[in-house]
Chain A
Amino acid sequence: MSIFGIELEVHIASLRRYARALVRDRGDADDLVQEALARALSRADKFVSGTNLRAWLFTIMHNVHINQVRSRAARPVEVAVEDVHEARMSEPANQEARVELGEMLRVLDTLPAEQRQVLLLVALEGLKYEEVAAVLEIPVGTVMSRLSRAREAVRVRLAGGTPAVTLRRVK
């Protein structure tokens, strides 16, 4: 058993959840995680002992994802993701919750990718803002503004409201 065994188990589960939320299709998501782990394996000697293993793994996966998105942009057709994942989602308890979660999923898809990534890393994976900044290689201030825009957009759209004036205290 590796000293990193338990920690890695936790991180791999986390990577899989994030990948699923990001690309939705189970096969694609697991391929993404597999590719990221393979790449991590090939550069394990670059990992500095005592530094943040989780941020390191998410950074690698983020870069793999960017490359995949780029290479796929050239390909013609994608699966009708929305139809696929809806069927695969675990059955929620009641009708009301189902609608809400479906809405959440739909709204999530309307976000720009850069906002969606920040929202998922923070709200779903619980990464610290500094970790998100390191993973996405952007300043913390940018993390905060993307997070803020993502959450407000989701809030307004879930409320069914028009993206009208949202009061925001600046001071």
Chain B
Amino acid sequence: MRDSDLHAYVDGQLDSARRIEVETWLAEDEEAARRVDAYRAQNAALHSLFDSVLREPADSRFADLGERLGQRLDAASAPRRWWSQPGWQRMAASVAFVAAGLGAGWLGHGQMAPLPVAQAPAPAPAAPTLQAFAEEATQAHSFYANSRFEVEMGADNQDALNNWLSERLGRAVFAPDLGGIGYRLIGGRSLPAEGGAVAQYMYETGGGTRLTLFVGTPKADQQAAFSFVKHGEIASFYWAEGVLTYALAGRFERDQLMTIAQAVHQKLKSGPAPRPAAPQSQSAPEVKQAPAEQLAPQPPVPGSDQERPKAS
């Protein structure tokens, strides 16, 4: 056992196999155990001393610099820039592009006229389409499902998570319990969008397959039919229910996601599940008929995820 293992143990930088080895060692070596305690106390003391900085009101110069830096970083990584423009603006821009393209058709092939999209008359803020909302959902999924900052708030306290996101949206929202189809809630985040905040709940199977549920209140003039869209590898089913619009996103084939979407739809209709144990009888009939292999690369065992330690 090396000294560096002891530090990596204190700092949470060991994989679980190595962690168990270190713990076994610590059980027998009092001196090492004392050092671990001392190092942990040091960490705690440093946080006690300096965490107050995090609670200080942010200086406006940092907010300003941060915003400008964010814009510059966006510009430097254009493909990842997905919510810097609200959906309807992008839609309008692409419509303007097509219109200009048609008008410029006489220029002939191979000649790309510079298109004055930015100078096009500002379009009336048309209602965003549900498709645009679903597109945002797929982009948010691809960005956050593999991010270090996958969620803003963990699922340790689901009531707190739901309350917080409900406040951000101005509507009561909740994370449906998907334990019955093998998906465990990791947590959620709120994202800025045109017409208010959007909530993103993130779920995971035991095998690491991730699923996000995007909930927002776009004022779309469209009805609630289940629709499907795919952007790159990310598929999305989306639908509206009352004032809320939902988009489910993940790396799935259409049929796989359809099965999940039906389960989610059912769970949403039946309301927040009583916790901690959600009765299995609430599972949607569609789900029970679905072979588990369809849902995830590794067949989830319903309920088994509940005992797992929460992802931080």
Residue A154 interfacial (CB < 8 Å): yes
Residue A34 interfacial (CB < 8 Å): yes
Report the bound CA distance from A12 to B67 in whole Å.
Answer: 11
Residue A33 interfacial (CB < 8 Å): yes
Q: Categorize the interface residue count of chain A.
A: 35 or more
Contact A41/B72 with A3-B84, A104-B49, A148-B3 known, Cβ cut-off 8 Å: yes
Name the CB-closest residue of B to A43: B72
Cβ contact of A2, chosen from B53, B56, B73, B152, cutoff 8 A: B73
Does B69 lie within 8 Å of A169, measured CB to CB? no
Contact A104/B69 with A21-B50, A155-B39 known, Cβ cut-off 8 Å: no
Residue A138 interfacial (CB < 8 Å): no
Residue A147 interfacial (CB < 8 Å): yes
Enumerate B17-76 residues with CB–CB distance to A below 8 Å. Answer: 29, 31-32, 35, 38-39, 42-43, 45-54, 56, 58-59, 61-62, 65-76
Residue A84 interfacial (CB < 8 Å): no
Query: Main SS of the interface on chain A?
Result: helix
Does A44 lie within 8 Å of B3, measured CB to CB? no
Cβ contact of A171, chosen from B1, B66, B74, B76, cutoff 8 A: B1
Name the CB-closest residue of B to A150: B42
Residue A5 interfacial (CB < 8 Å): yes
Does B70 lie within 8 Å of A4, measured CB to CB? yes
Does B50 lie within 8 Å of A17, measured CB to CB? yes
Residue B222 interfacial (CB < 8 Å): no
Does A151 lie within 8 Å of B45, measured CB to CB? no
Residue B156 interfacial (CB < 8 Å): no
Listed stretches B7-15, B114-122, B250-258, B273-281; interface member: B7-15
Cβ contact of B32, chosen from A105, A120, A124, A169, cutoff 8 A: A169
Contacts of A6 in B (CB 8 A): 149, 152, 189
Residue B82 interfacial (CB < 8 Å): yes
Does A169 lie within 8 Å of B62, measured CB to CB? no
Report the bound CA distance from A72 to B8 in whole Å.
Answer: 35
- Interface-centre pick from B49, B52, B72 (highest chain A CB count, 10 A): B49
List 21 interface pairs A-B (beta carbons < 8 Å), by A numbering.
Answer: A2-B70, A2-B71, A2-B73, A3-B74, A3-B143, A5-B67, A5-B70, A6-B149, A6-B152, A8-B66, A17-B53, A34-B61, A37-B62, A44-B73, A92-B48, A101-B48, A104-B42, A123-B46, A148-B3, A151-B38, A151-B42
20 A-B pairs besides A6-B189, A13-B54 with CB distance below 8 A are A1-B84, A2-B84, A8-B69, A12-B66, A17-B53, A20-B50, A30-B59, A40-B69, A41-B65, A41-B69, A44-B75, A50-B77, A89-B52, A104-B45, A123-B43, A124-B50, A147-B7, A151-B38, A158-B38, A169-B2
